[in-house]
Each structure stands twice: as structure tokens, then as C-alpha cells.
Amino acid sequence: MRAFRTFALPALALIGCTANGGVADGNAAAQSEPQDTGAQPFRVQPVGQFSEPWAMAFLPGGRQALITEKHGALKLWTVGGAAIDVSGVPQVDHGGQGGLGDVILHPEFATNNIIYLSWAEAGEGDTRGAAVGRGRLVVDGNAARLEGLQVIWRQQPKVTGRGHYAHRLLFSPDGRHLFISSGDRQKFDPAQDMNANLGKILRLNPDGSVPADNPFADRGGVAAQIWVLGLRNPLGFAFAPDGRFWEIEMGPEGGDELNLVQRGANYGYPIVSDGDHYDGRPIPDHSTRPEFAAPKVTWTPVISPGNMIVYTGDLFPQWRGDALVPGLSSEALIHVDLDGDAAREAGRWPMGARIREVEQAPDGSLYLLEDSREGRGGRLLHLTPAG
Ligand SMILES: [Ca+2]
Ligand SMILES: [Ca+2]
């Protein structure tokens, strides 16, 4: 991540919550819907403090959640209480954008206690890459541990640098497939290379094996894992209740993207982007190459998405079926209206801090994890309806 994202605060974030910074894809019906109005619809309560928090996943029942810290700790946090360390987590390569990453539950966690983690792993020489593993969470009184951790997937090839791991994890709504988002590791061309699983979304069986009905299964090798390609740094993805699969990613200088994920599609990076390279070299815009799948929303200036969810709760009925996106450089929570195949930014609330993740609790309230750096930030914030 460049200094641009660290320090540039887009003007839109400063003028409040009615900004429509996103460029929608021209769906007139979507644009005629009312915008969110100015009043912040939620109350914010700090409820925890973490060191480099990156991801959060509630356990069934919603009384406890797992929270990863990028430096390599997994915490079991109790609502209204303390956080304890979970032992048995893997060694991580901590630095840059890398360390311990995402955490999700197996769809049948209630009976098998299996969780999935992603992290940055050191390789030969000066190389590294993301890894995904799964193990059994054992909570024993006031202690917790991870047992039988097995690596089920790795980025290939491992490369130099410490950026663009992405490594977000998601199960399909039917629980039959695990999706992994894999960033381009700031190496550009691997996003189009079918012999690399960088710059892609991969689709696996829950045990890490490759489904026979994947779009490129007949090619074998890592190509068989690929669901879609041509991505840059896909940091969030989620299924909407209508079954549509959405992905959000950081573009280069400009051009953050919200994409509708369609089996086997190529989203064109690094051949096309609505942004350009940080050193000023242009990248042709999506409109110049219609053979590539185009984003449904692009953002310039960028929002720097941390992840995304599609909200399905009752506490914020105005957001049901829509995407919520936390912003790092934009220091905001962003509401993206989803309407069939169309999408548009519909509201933005300044949070005064870089936000890494948004998570929906089982009761429909929201939690935000602040990014932290140099000892600042890192709070867990609870959002409940205002008034
Ligand atoms: Ca999460
Ligand atoms: Ca461009």
C-alpha cells in the first residue's frame, strides 16, 4: 500500500454522508432510489482494544467472537468481557500488509468446531505467500487452543515483497465450497497467468481439494482452482441474499472496484483499470476493452476497502440486501446499494479512523475493527441504531 492511501483523505469523506463518490454503471432505476439522508443512523460504542486487528468472526449464539491480530495472535473475545489468546496458531511472516489475516467458521462449526485462518507464510530466500489452514477450536474453561491445524491452500508462486496478499475467506451460501481471494502480490502479470493463483478468486471444497466442476478444472494444476481472474487486491467478497456474488478490491492510483463475480470471468487487471499506476503511467480504462468483465462501481478517489458484507439483519432495515464497506484511506463506513446486477454508492459516514473490517453480529448489530499502526487505533466499535 502506498503513502497515497495512508495519508490522502478524499474530499468526499470530509463533506459528510451524502456523498455519492461511486460511479454507478448507469442503471437509471437504481439511481432514482432515495439517497441516505444526513443523520448518522447508528450509535458508536468502543467495546474493545486490539493490536493490529484484521478480521472477526462470531461464534454461534453471538456471545463470543474470534478476532485476528496481524502480528500473529488469535483472540477469543467475549461480548462485554475480556479477550483471551488462542494457542496453536501458525507462525506468520509479519510485515507490510502481511501477518495473520482472515478467520471464518466452517458451515458446520456447531458440530465440528472447525475454523479457517489465512496468513502470510515465509518461503525460500526472500519470498513469501498467503496460506490457508483449518483446525479445531477447543475452548476449555478460561483457555482456548487450535488443534490439528492443517494447511489446505497456498499462493503459488511465492514471491518477494509484503503486499497484496488479500487472502479473504468465504463459504458459499450452501456451505459446499470455500472461496479464497488472492491478491496479485504487487506483481501485476500473475493476475492473468493461469499457472499462478495470484490475482484470482479460487474455489475449493471445504477440505482444500479442487471441485471437478470448476470452470478451468480440465487444465489441471493451479488453474483448476480458479473461479475468476484478472483481480488486483480483492480484500472483500460476499453473497447477497439473491445469490449474486460480489467482490471489492483496491485499485491502483484510482479505480477501486466493486465487481459482480461470474463463473470463469476475467476482470482484466493489469491490462485494464479505471485507475492508473502510482508512477503516473496510464492503464487503459475498462471501457477500452469490452472483452473483460467491467466493474459495477469504480471509485476515484479511492475508498481503500477493508472487506465487505451484505447486510441481512433487522436492526438496520434500510440496508438489508445491500453492501457495507469499511474504508481505510477514506476512514468511513460506506453503504453500497445493490439492485439486481447494478450497484451504486448510497451513503458514507466518516468514522475518523481507518476501518479494516465490518462484521454483522447474529443480533443484526454491526462491529467495526479499526486499523492500527504505530500504537494508535485498533478499537473494536459496536454500532447500534441511533435514537
Ligand atoms: Ca469477518
Ligand atoms: Ca486507467
Report, as an integer, the average pLDDT of 342-364: 97
Report, as an integer, the average pLDDT of 25-38: 45
The sign one gets for the Cα dihedral 279, 285, 288, 290 is positive
- The C-alpha angle with vertex 156 and arms to 270 and 92, in degrees rounded to 5, equals 110
Alpha-carbon span 22 to 133, nearest angstrom: 35
Ligand nearest to the CA of 54: 1
Provide the H-helix boundaries in the chain.
Answer: 3-7, 11-14, 28-31, 109-112
| Nearest by Cα to 182 from 196, 165, 194 | 165
| Residues with catalytic function | 164
Contacts of 371 (CB under 8 A, 6+ apart): 52, 53, 306, 328, 353, 354, 355, 356, 377, 378
Q: How confident is the model at residue 125 (pLDDT cuts 50, 70, 90)?
A: very high
Ligand nearest to the CA of 57: 1
Between the CA of 127 and the centroid of ligand 1 the distance, in Å, is 27
Cell of 60: 454461534
pLDDT on residue 23: 40
| 3-class DSSP assignment, residue 346 | strand
User: What is the tens place of the pLDDT at every residue in 167-212?
Assistant: 999 999 999 999 999 999 999 999 999 999 999 999 999 999 999 9
Between the CA of 285 and the centroid of ligand 2 the distance, in Å, is 4
Between the CA of 292 and the centroid of ligand 2 the distance, in Å, is 14
Give the single-character DSSP code of 111: H
pLDDT on residue 58: 98
Q: How confident is the model at residue 37 (pLDDT cuts 50, 70, 90)?
A: low
**CA 59 from chain center: how many Å?**
19
User: What is the tens place of the pLDDT at every residue in 244-300?
Assistant: 999 999 999 999 999 999 999 999 999 999 999 999 999 999 999 999 999 999 999
Ligand nearest to the CA of 277: 2
User: What is the tens place of the pLDDT at every residue in 233-245?
Assistant: 999 999 999 999 9
Between the CA of 271 and the centroid of ligand 2 the distance, in Å, is 9
Ligand nearest to the CA of 254: 2
Question: The pTM is what?
Answer: 0.91
Ligand nearest to the CA of 251: 2
Q: Which residues have CB less than 5 Å away from ligand 1 (the ion)?
A: 55-57, 359
Distances in whole angstroms, Cα of residue 188 to Cα of each of 72, 157, 184, 227, 292: 27, 13, 6, 18, 16
Between the CA of 253 and the centroid of ligand 2 the distance, in Å, is 9
Q: What H or E segment, with its residue span, contains residue 145?
A: strand 143-154
> Which residues partner with 132 through β-bridges?
118, 153
Between the CA of 330 and the centroid of ligand 2 the distance, in Å, is 20
Give the single-character DSSP code of 109: H
The sign one gets for the Cα dihedral 230, 122, 131, 297 is negative
Report, as an integer, the average pLDDT of 147-158: 98
| 3-class DSSP assignment, residue 125 | coil
Report, as an integer, the average pLDDT of 140-165: 97
Between the CA of 296 and the centroid of ligand 2 the distance, in Å, is 15
Q: Judge contact between 228 and 249, C-beta under 8 A.
A: no
Neighbours of 221 (CB within 10 A): 14
**Who wins on pLDDT, 100 or 15?**
100
Between the CA of 288 and the centroid of ligand 2 the distance, in Å, is 10
Report the CATH fold assignment for 3-385: Neuraminidase (2.120.10)
> Which residues partner with 58 through β-bridges?
65
pLDDT on residue 18: 34
Between the CA of 207 and the centroid of ligand 1 the distance, in Å, is 20
